[in-house]
Structure 1
């Protein structure tokens, strides 16, 4: 499930602007979720990507066979001598719960597969690697390089009537993971305004992987799924003073203007430029003296965990 793979978010910190972030040791990994039992005893075979794809295909095949059986039963009853209206009309012959269960199972497997791929299989290049230290030297290429074979495996294994559902789930989770790195990546990640350009370029590359030059998902579907990220990215491009002003504005809207001090907003279910915690996290990851002074004065945030 989703909760099985999502990492534990590190506590909020402020940037260490007096030293180069590149000096951080990449060996030090971010706090992770409690270790999953998946793949420990059986070498991850039972829950590997090929096996999950087969399970989704199996549910799709069961659903297909049930639909065929349903039509045969209705046809047989209609051609028989039964006079019961509910049966002859087919109302009691449908496998409605079973068909719905197959669809729900495919959806749950799609989401679980997506979270497993992004936050388990590729955690070393996303959560533990992307933008750690100097952003320019730890960009998205390695994540894309290891994600692409996963997409190819899904495209070649999953039935074409299920494939788009699985790829869409994986796309959404990878976009969520990208944004999670930017907003909740801990003290080993910090961004200056000039880094905003490479972040935007990297996200464009991630989107293009799913479009696949017209052979992948529809561009409009990709852009719609990218909306939460594209809405937040302008905050990384904005001047620090503008981000601080925006933070004060969204806090005032959320808590009212009569505040003796700025409250610490809770982590939201969804990131948004109108959410106080989201804007605060941009400041936490801003490699800028004004941002770190603001965070120290108002929240006393530490520079490291």
Structure 2
């Protein structure tokens, strides 16, 4: 990867002199991130983003995506140097986790979840974690995997909460995010902004969990509060 990067930089800038090691390393790291995100969001798109939990959770679980992921990791190991493999696999892990989270919170009209689904989703995510914990004799330390997994595990826990708890948590988080404090008589809950930092305490994240919940009470709350259309 470093050699390819150095050649690419030289060709692009047409610089006949040497390039600093720091620049080469920085560009190599960037290329690895691009390559790993391509691996998940393009090369594995059919098995992952386009298929996981489409229709329902029971009949669209993660097994096909894991088979595809393991195959791609084997391919990655064949083209990346031993020195670069830990970082490359870590970036694949982060991209995989991001794709999983997007499936839960921004999966589009083909996905909708029941409260009971969170148990199967958690099992699927544990299987995804295991791919990286067991790959390559500890290329990615288990504590690193656990750290990256915390946000997703928090979101899955939200998916297992009852609607009344989700509505209460959302109301508190939305008011806090807007600086309103408590909602007074006649006031409406503010629509929370998309922060791009999804987590179980984020109002936009909780709103998305409510939006994708297949539940009459959730639909009614979203309709009366934000005029959001019924999911199904």
**TM (normalized to structure 1)?**
0.67
Structure 1 residues 165-212: Cα deviation after superposition (integer angstroms, max 9, x where no partner): 111011001001101100011121111111000000000000000112
Instruction: Say whether residues 1:103 and 2:25 are aligned partners.
Output: yes
Residue number among 271, 277, 299 corresponding to 2:198 in the alignment: 271
1:60 Cα shift?
A: 7.5
Q: Please identify the structure whose Cα radius of gyration is greater.
A: 1
- CA distance in 2: counterparts of 1:179 and 1:263, whole angstroms: 24
1:57 Cα shift?
A: 4.7
Q: Which runs of 5+ in 2 are unaligned?
A: 8-17
Aligned residues: 217
CA change 1:222–1:153 in 2 (3 A) is same
Which residue pairs with 1:215 in the alignment?
137
Residue number among 225, 238, 244 corresponding to 2:161 in the alignment: 238
Is the CA contact (8 Å cut-off) linking 1:59 and 1:105 kept in structure 2?
Answer: no
What SS does structure 1 have at the residue aligned with 2:134?
helix
What SS does structure 2 have at the residue aligned with 1:249?
helix
Residue number among 25, 48, 58 corresponding to 2:3 in the alignment: 58
Q: Which runs of 5+ in 1 are unaligned?
A: 1-55, 63-94
1:213 Cα shift?
A: 6.3
Is the CA contact (8 Å cut-off) linking 1:139 and 1:202 kept in structure 2?
Answer: yes
- Structure 1 stretches of 4+ with a deviation exceeding 4 A read 59-62
Residue number among 36, 51, 70 corresponding to 1:129 in the alignment: 51
1:157 Cα shift?
A: 2.5
1:258 Cα shift?
A: 4.7
- CA distance in 1: counterparts of 2:2 and 2:61, whole angstroms: 35
1:115 Cα shift?
A: 1.2
- CA distance in 1: counterparts of 2:31 and 2:136, whole angstroms: 26
Q: Whose RCO is larger (CA < 8 A, sep 6+)? A: 1
**TM (normalized to structure 2)?**
0.87
- CA distance in 1: counterparts of 2:162 and 2:56, whole angstroms: 20
Instruction: Say whether residues 1:229 and 2:152 are aligned partners.
Output: yes
